[in-house]
Structures are given as C-alpha cells and as structure tokens.
Chain A
Amino acid sequence: DSGVTQTPKHLITATGQRVTLRCSPRSGDLSVYWYQQSLDQGLQFLIQYYNGEERAKGNILERFSAQQFPDLHSELNLSSLELGDSALYFCASRPSGNNEQFFGPGTRLTVL
C-alpha cells in the first residue's frame, strides 16, 4: 500500500459526459501528479500540483482540468468525453526533497 488513494476504482460512462477522478496523496506530501496510461502506452504526464498551485503541465487536453484543494487532495475533471479517453488514470504524490513518486492504484475509465 503506497498510501495514495484514488476513487473510484472503475468508471464507465458515455461519450460527451463529464467525470471527476479523486486522489488523496500520502500524508505530508505536497506534490500531486496525474498520469494517463492508454493501452500499450507508457504513462503520459498530464499535470502536477504543489501545495495547491499548478507546477507543471504535460500533454493535458483542454477538455481536462485539475485542481488541488487546501487539504491537498486533488481532482481531475474530464469533460466532453471521447472513446479515446478510455484509459487508466494514475495519481502520484511526492515528498519534498525526494524524487521518488508514490502511485495510487489508478482509476480505470471506460467511455462507451
């Protein structure tokens, strides 16, 4: 158990819909990262937050947005969903002064 929790574990929805994925980092970790893993692909970095502020942005679509709240949990919002958005979405947290990331178990999103 990495200490990072993600909910829900599975999500099935239809094209055009909007969903919210939630992540709670390890206690004390200020950095939160979101990744997308599509079939046979590596982990694609989406976005990073540090203590509530956006720190780095990767290949995140404009239909996607994220935020980190004062209690440090983070949410990834995916809207106008398309079939190609079906993927595993991982959240990771990182303690300050350490380059190791701790990953949650992921949310599997299926868009029908």
Chain B
Amino acid sequence: DQQVKQNSPSLSVQEGRISILNCDYTNSMFDYFLWYKKYPAEGPTFLISISSIKDKNEDGRFTVFLNKSAKHLSLHIVPSQPGDSAVYFCAASVTGNQFYFGTGTSLTVIP
C-alpha cells in the first residue's frame, strides 16, 4: 500500500521558470514531510522539510507547501537551474520512526 504517491514520473522545465513537484499522501497521522534530491549513483540528499503544524516553509529558491485537508504537498523551485536536474522524492513520517517515500519525479531543467 503506497501511502505516499508522486504521480508524475517526470517533469521538464525551462531554465529560469518555476518547477512544481507534487506529492499526495493517504495517512492523516503523518506529522513531518520532507523532500530529498537524488543524483545518479548517489544517495538521496535532504532538501527541505515541513512540519504538519505549518503550511509553508521556504529556503532560498525552494518552497514547500502543505495542504492537510487535501493531503497534498508540493515543492516549488524558483528560478529553476540546470543543476536542479535530478530525481526528487517526497517522504512522510509519523514521529520520525518510519519514513514513507514516494516513487520520485525526475526533473529536467532545460538550459
């Protein structure tokens, strides 16, 4: 049972434009959400997170939005850069003991 879903396997965006990556979840008990970025042949690296008590968290070019009623979160990257091309995973956790990951969205930023 996939509790965290990323329904878009891939996304292409022009350099300088906004990239929006989406993630849906089913478990209302999730209290922490994270985004990870993964390059080929490397492990995922942490990008940004948000607690369930917030609806927005911003870190430089990256902003995560959480809509609890819709059980939906999104990652906005503005402006997108070629170096942002990678696979992005969203993850959710209950109390930090078990993390559920989506299947990833491969982002390509076209120069």
Question: A residues touching B (Cβ–Cβ < 8 Å)?
Answer: 2, 4, 33, 35, 40-45, 48, 55-56, 58, 90, 92, 94, 99-106
Contact = CB atoms under 8 A, between A and B. Distances in A.
Given A2-B43, A100-B34, A103-B43, A43 B98 contact: no
B100 to A, nearest CB: 7
B89 A90 contact: no
A90 B43 contact: yes
Interface string B100-111: 111110000000
A47 B46 CA distance: 20
B19 interface: no
21 contacts: A2-B43, A35-B101, A42-B2, A45-B101, A48-B97, A56-B97, A56-B98, A58-B98, A90-B44, A92-B43, A94-B96, A99-B32, A100-B49, A101-B34, A101-B46, A101-B99, A102-B46, A103-B45, A105-B41, A105-B42, A105-B43
Nearest to B6: A42
Contacts of B98: 45, 48, 56, 58
B99 A100 contact: no
Contact of A45 (B45, B89, B100): B100
A102 B43 CA distance: 9
B4 to A, nearest CB: 8
Nearest to B38: A103
Contacts of B4: 42
A24 to B, nearest CB: 13
A43 B101 contact: yes
